[in-house]
Amino acid sequence: MADGKSAFLYVIYIRTTADELWSALTKPEFSRRYWFGMTVETDWKVGGPWRLKNADGQIFDTGEIVAFDPPRRIVLKWLHERRPELKAEGPARCSIELEPAEGAVKLTIHHTIDRADSKLIEAVSGGWPRILSNLKSLIETGKIALSQ
């Protein structure tokens, strides 16, 4: 983007209800199945912390809950913790929005950071589509499409 920002937008339609999708997004027993073993640790209180951990308990990302409005919208402050060059970019912002759309739910994820040519935004742009495809097939068919 021209004004010193980097952003990606991900849109997927999932045949389910907003309540079911909301619970898939916020419950760890569900997330570890479509997010390659990852779970979010948080009590989902606005202003409170969250951490994303893999199956071995290693922390990948951390941040703060900025907004939590079930079953419509979650906004997270997002700081990567593993790769120093990505952590050095500082916090990004991720908003997750659910909108009912003709028998399905439109899920929109907007991941943005206030700097041009962000390596973090580039790095996550390969990950989100795989996570979302897996989430869609898990909800619609009960099975995941990709195991790693």
Q: Interface with other proteins by CB under 8 A: which residues?
A: 1-2, 5-13, 108, 110, 125-126, 128-130, 132-133, 145-146
* CA-angle at 147, arms to 124 and 84, nearest 5°: 30
Amino acid identity of 115? R
How far apart, in whole angstroms, are the C-alpha atoms of residue 26 and residue 44?
Answer: 8
Rounded to a whole number of angstroms, the minimum distance from the CB of residue 130 to other proteins is: 6
Rounded to a whole number of angstroms, the minimum distance from the CB of residue 53 to other proteins is: 24
Rounded to a whole number of angstroms, the minimum distance from the CB of residue 40 to other proteins is: 20
End-to-end CA, the chain: 31
* Closer by beta carbon to other proteins, 8 or else 36: 8
How far apart, in whole angstroms, are the C-alpha atoms of residue 120 and residue 139?
Answer: 28
Look at residue 41 and give its three-state secondary structure.
strand
* Closer by beta carbon to other proteins, 3 or else 56: 3
How far apart, in whole angstroms, are the C-alpha atoms of residue 24 and residue 140?
Answer: 12
* Closer by beta carbon to other proteins, 79 or else 132: 132
* Closer by beta carbon to other proteins, 59 or else 101: 101
Rounded to a whole number of angstroms, the minimum distance from the CB of residue 52 to other proteins is: 20
